[in-house]
A = this chain, B = another copy of it.
Amino acid sequence: MSLVVVGSVAFDSIVTPAKRQDEVLGGSAIHFSMSSSFHTSTKLVGVVGEDFPADRRQILRDRGIDIEGLETVAGGKTFRWEGKYHDDMNQRETISVELNVFERFEPVLRPSHRSARFLFLANAAPRTQARVLDQIEPGAFVMADTMNLWVQTAHADLEDLIRRIDGLVLNDEEAALLSEDDRTIPAGRMIREKFGLRYLVIKKGEHGSIIFHDEGEVALPAFPLATVTDPTGAGDSFAGGLMGYLANASDLGLQSFKRGVAWGTVMASFCCEDFGVHRMTRLERSEMQSRFDEYQQMLSLAAD
């Protein structure tokens, strides 16, 4: 089934202990759709400036992503972000943010977007996310992401948004801030129940993720990676794998959702293997499937 993602398109400059990469293709909607496009047809809604080159558009088209909803602002400049990772790759420091055209982004869904049955609201101001939600036809399965900034500066708007959606993806820090509880399980239960969410996923980076649903919790580990080259976009690749799988399976039951999270986990692991979307541009379906099979086998506790 059709999947729409609304979010940022950016040029990311990334410093890791090993290497520096300038202005690689990034942003939440990019990482999400590069991942989801392996599972279902994906329509991207976002905004860029006139400086966004044709070869970057081609990367998206090569993955079959529908970019009719990618607006170009005349005379505008594309969103830029610069970040630095420290030794253990778990701590990220934002060096600079230039929102540029993303600052006044007012997403407008085309008729073909409005009838989508799956919608992902990538991190943006909760009011912007809500305006997208206003445009989608009723009955779509909607999930969203957010960030600490919105928990702190737009709390009421964020709460209003979360009450209107089906699923939410947070990292452990965001969950602690939103629930005012550092303990992941109580925090997740509280958030899911308070906002009446069908699914909540709390991401713990290298420690995996926990699904909260009405039958309890499901903890799944990350795929063990020996080398993390650049974790930027791993969370959005995770969400893309999850939503892409769900849209393709058209099954929102728990077992299907677990398989979706497993696909999210696998897609996020590929994302971390290179800068930007480099790994995704050369990912083969066969290696993707074989990592999923390996992950499923790793978790199988069946007796020999």
Interface residues of A (CB under 8 A from B): 87-89, 182-186, 189, 204, 206-208, 210, 216-228, 251, 253, 255-256, 258-259, 262, 295-296, 298-304
A228 CB to closest chain B CB, in angstroms?
8
CA distance A223 to B226 in the complex (A): 24
The one of B87, B223, B262, B303 that contacts A301, using a Cβ cutoff of 8 Å: B262
A51 CB to closest chain B CB, in angstroms?
37
Chain B minimum-CB-distance residue to A299: B299
Q: Given A224-B210, A224-B217, A226-B189, do A182 and B301 touch, yes or no (CB 8 Å)? A: no
Enumerate chain B residues within 8 angstroms of A296, measured Cβ to Cβ. 301-302
Pair A251/B304 contact, Cβ less than 8 Å: yes
Pair A182/B87 contact, Cβ less than 8 Å: yes
A269 CB to closest chain B CB, in angstroms?
11
Pair B182/A208 contact, Cβ less than 8 Å: no
CA distance A185 to B207 in the complex (A): 12
Enumerate chain B residues within 8 angstroms of A223, measured Cβ to Cβ. 219
Ordered by A's residue number, 27 sampled pairs between the chains whose C-beta atoms are within 8 Å are A88-B182, A88-B183, A89-B183, A184-B206, A185-B226, A186-B226, A186-B227, A204-B207, A207-B208, A208-B221, A210-B224, A218-B224, A218-B298, A219-B298, A220-B221, A221-B221, A255-B302, A256-B303, A256-B304, A258-B301, A259-B301, A259-B303, A262-B301, A296-B301, A296-B302, A299-B299, A300-B300
